[in-house]
Amino acid sequence: MPAIQLLIPDDYQHIGPQLAELQQDSAYACRSLGDLSRAPDADEALAQAEALLLIRERTVVDEALLARMPRLRLVSQTGKLARNIDVEACSRAGVAVVEGSGSPYAPAELAWLLIMVARRRLSENIDSLRQGQWQGPVGQAVRGQTLGILGLGKIGKLVAGYGQAFGMRILVWGSERAREEAQALGYQAAGSREAFFAEADVISLHQRLVAATSGNITLDDLMRMKTDALLVNISRAELIAPGALETALDAGRPGFAALDVFEQEPVYDTAHPLLRRPNVLCTPHLGYAEEASYRQYLEIAYRNAVRFFQGDTSHVLNPEALI
């Protein structure tokens, strides 16, 4: 009996072949592809695939992709279901969808790393040293500064804890639940949205991207930030209204941004306007792209696929696809 074909698309770092659990059962052949838009053998791989193991929200599963995958029976998402999967289109095509789980630690650590690197102007000083110079721009210590957390979920709580450990005042804005929870944890809830953006020295974004949060951070919000404030976004670029960040940075409010996410990914254009700004630190969506996180995400997605093909469909989110 031929092996069931599992495909990990948009595996930019080719982590799939490195995970032994994904290769241990000869009944399942697991293959990775790099960027689908660039892989020369993408059409052949998609045509053969019976299940997709998705790395978070990289791959858009819509009618166009489903039309290229006549044998597809399952989409196994790493992490929770997100907007990259058109569940209705999957149901019409008879493709089941299941979701997995993830860990908040790697993205929280990256958020904190970006805060420290940006505040101490570490990247510019490393570049200065490599160019034969000595000390470059002067940075700031975070102790005594105010860390604003927008969205107090699992990741936001971890970042708030890191900030508190470094002697920062923690200021929270979000839902009423988030503000109440912030006070219960000993943090301060901002008196208003306006005060949150005006008072914080560093703001780290930790909202989920849903209809209610898409574009909810406006130019007016950003223009209330201090001229030496830092905005950190490891969550989703679309949380910020289109064009608002660029306009605000041009106006000097905030004075600096550290970004791990972009509206269109991946970014290959070295002339991308955010990459060329001296007051922006950019990283290539590394939040969860870490060895232990990859292992947890993909091994759970793999096990969910095995469950499905062995006849257990109790975890399927769209049971109408099975009819």
Q: Residue 112 is which amino acid? A: W
87 within 8 A of 81, measured Cβ to Cβ: yes
Tell me which of 73, 179, 236, 253 is the catalytic residue: 236
CA 127 to CA 83: how far, in whole Å? 38
Contacts of 96 (CB under 8 A, 6+ apart): 73, 74, 75, 90, 308, 313, 316, 317, 318, 319, 321, 322
CB of 241 closer than 8 Å to CB of 219: yes
Round to whole Å and give the CA distance between 171 and 146: 7
Told to judge if 315 belongs to the known catalytic residues of this protein, a careful annotator would answer: no
What does R_g of the chain's alpha carbons equal in angstroms?
22
Residue 163 CB neighbour total at 10 angstroms = 26
Candidate list 56, 119, 121, 285, residue with the active-site label: 285
In angstroms, rounded to a whole number, what is the distance separating the alpha carbons of residues 93 and 310?
21
Q: Hey, what are 259's tokens?
A: 């970004």
Establish whether 181 is a catalytic residue. Answer: no
| Annotated catalytic residue within 109, 238, 246, 265 | 265
> Contact 107/287 with Cβ under 8 angstroms?
yes
Task: Identify each DSSP E strand in the chain by its residue range.
Answer: 4-8, 28-32, 51-54, 74-77, 96-98, 146-150, 169-173, 188-189, 202-205, 230-233, 256-259, 280-282
Fill in the amino acid letter for 307.
Answer: R
Supply the residues annotated as catalytic.
236, 265, 285
